[in-house]
Amino acid sequence: MKEDFRHYYTDQTEAPERVKTATFRLKNGHSYSFKSPDGVFAFGKADRASLILIENCVLDGQENLLDLGCGYGPIGITLKLENPDLKLFMSDTNTRAVTFSKINARDFNLLADIRKGDLYDPWEGFRFDSILSNPPMAAGKAVWEKLICEAPKFLTENGRLQIVAYHNKGGSRLEGIMKTTFGNVITTTKSGGIRVYVSRKL
């Protein structure tokens, strides 16, 4: 059955709520389990691209980190657990995603600023050292172009935008937009068609 991609970029609060546990193990042996609701991306599972971003993003360890389009929270929360000095900010347009990110953060006794809103709308006046995203490709070009093109406004000097995507399923286009927007982009990881692209605000 073809997957329904509405959960990428819609507020699916009307969908019946079912909850599963998504569990994954990092290469360092640490295991984490998250409550994962229906109507939110990667229901009941750990998304492979998100795991690749978690294990391969570039962090200094003490920065302000924005997990943009956070879903139920695996990227930002895991990185905070692995790097306790991070200051974590998370947002999603989906009410249920925000609710379960807050639930998962609470379950891990973790402090994070978690907000609902469209892309950068909740973050006016904020500046981040790193913005991470597993972007909603199915939401369409206008959404992921905005995610990239507005990023410099919300980054500190030398701050990084880090995006994970399947290179042959839109990732190459993201890479090109990042190059145009920032004047630089590098591929830090390649794994089974998935790549992590990083641009720095100079």
pLDDT in tens, 103-124: 999 999 999 999 999 999 999 9
Is 100 a domain residue? yes
pLDDT band at residue 98 using 50, 70 and 90 as cut-offs: very high
- Angle, helix 95-107 to helix 74-82, in steps of 10 degrees: 20
Residue with tokens 């913005």: 131
Q: What is the mean pLDDT of the chain?
A: 90
Is 4 a domain residue? no
Domain count, the chain: 1
pLDDT band at residue 186 using 50, 70 and 90 as cut-offs: very high
Q: Which amino acid is at 88?
A: L
DSSP the chain: ----GGGGSS--TTSPP-EEEEEEE-TTS-EEEEEEETTSSSTTS--HHHHHHHHH----SSSEEEEET-TTSHHHHHHHHHSTT-EEEEEES-HHHHHHHHHHHHHTT---EEEESSTTGGGTT--EEEEEE---GGG-HHHHHHHHHTGGGGEEEEEEEEEEEEGGGTHHHHHHHHHHHHS--EEEEEETTEEEEEEE--
What's the mean pLDDT in 161-184? 96
Is 84 a domain residue? yes
- Summarize pLDDT for 32-75 with one digit per residue, the tens: 999 988 778 766 678 899 999 999 999 987 799 999 999 999 99
Is 74 a domain residue? yes
Q: How far apart are CA 55 and CA 72, in angstroms?
A: 18
Is 145 a domain residue? yes
Q: Are 88 and 111 in contact (CB under 8 A)?
A: yes
Is 135 a domain residue? yes
pLDDT above 70: residue 5: no
- Phi-psi group of 174: left, alpha or beta (phi > 0 → left; psi -120 to 50 → alpha; rest → beta): alpha
Token output for 48: 């492979």
Residue 60: domain span: 47-200
Is 16 a domain residue? no
Q: How far apart are CA 140 and CA 120, in angstroms?
A: 17
pLDDT above 50: residue 3: no
Q: How far apart are CA 27 and CA 58, in angstroms?
A: 16
Kindly report the CATH number assigned to the domain that includes residue 66: 3.40.50.150
- Summarize pLDDT for 121-146 with one digit per residue, the tens: 999 999 999 999 998 777 778 888 99
pLDDT above 90: residue 88: yes
Is 20 a domain residue? no
Q: Are 25 and 3 in contact (CB under 8 A)?
A: no
Residue with tokens 């929360």: 77
Report the pLDDT value the prediction gives residue 8, as an integer from 0 to 100: 44
